[in-house]
Amino acid sequence: MSEGGDAPASPVPHLDAADQDGLVARIEELAAARTRVLLGITGSPGAGKSTIAGDLVEALRTRRMPVVWVPMDGFHLADVELDRLGRRERKGAIDTFDGYGYLALLRRMAGETGNTVYAPTFDRAIEQPVAGAIAVGPATRVVLTEGNYLLDESDPWGDVRRALTEVWFIDLPDDVRRQRLVDRHIRFGKAPDLARRWVEEVDQRNAERIEAARSSADLVVQA
């Protein structure tokens, strides 16, 4: 898959069949012991969290496991608020998310299994969150949520970690990950020079923070 105009194509990380089957089996084991599993997928920007989350969701659905995908990106602060706070130029940093809102949603999804809980999504075409776009119904056995800061211990992210059944860390070679980020930024409208600068000055700073918490993951998945 190409991610942006004339930018060099970078590989999209997918799990091989054996690895995917092992991860799905682990999720099924977790679900067998609980009313609902909240599984977190984390990793540095560009590591392939969304791609692998999508693969797992499709695999679970083929096995008739009721699963819903709820991205943490739905809790991005809107650009108008980032402008007010003076944070828009580093959108994606930990303080550009509504962490407490995300935590509240995780707790609702864990505890309110008898009614539908609505969650936001994130529309990359407009780079904005969209409220009430995802329905987590009573039949849902697995909620898969992916995002950057699921292992961070600052407030409220330490409680986010504890609200999740497990958190898996996606690992991808750094050079591949960075090129994927550049390609993505170009695809969504940034000029190549600005895309490369954004990766080095914004995304990479976030990646350093995310990588520092890797050792507390329940599982490290090689993409």
Residue 17: its pLDDT value, please?
Answer: 84
Number of helical H runs and strand E runs in the chain: 8, 7
Residue 161: its pLDDT value, please?
Answer: 98
Q: Tokens 């898996």 correspond to what residue?
A: 168
Interatomic CA distance for residues 21 and 19, integer angstroms: 5
Structure tokens at 112: 């309110």
- Pairing mode, strands 37-42 and 166-171: parallel
Residue 144: its pLDDT value, please?
Answer: 98
Question: 143 has which bridge partners?
Answer: 38, 68
Is residue 105 within 8 Å of residue 117, measured between CB atoms? yes
Query: What does pLDDT average to in each consecutive run of 10 residues of the chain (223 residues)?
Result: 40 79 97 98 93 95 97 96 95 96 98 97 88 97 97 98 98 90 86 90 92 96 89
Residue 38: its pLDDT value, please?
Answer: 98
Interatomic CA distance for residues 207 and 9, integer angstroms: 21
Question: 132 has which bridge partners?
Answer: none
The verdict on pTM exceeding 0.85 is yes
Question: 142 has which bridge partners?
Answer: 37, 67
Q: Which domains occur in the chain, in start order?
A: 17-222 (3.40.50.300)
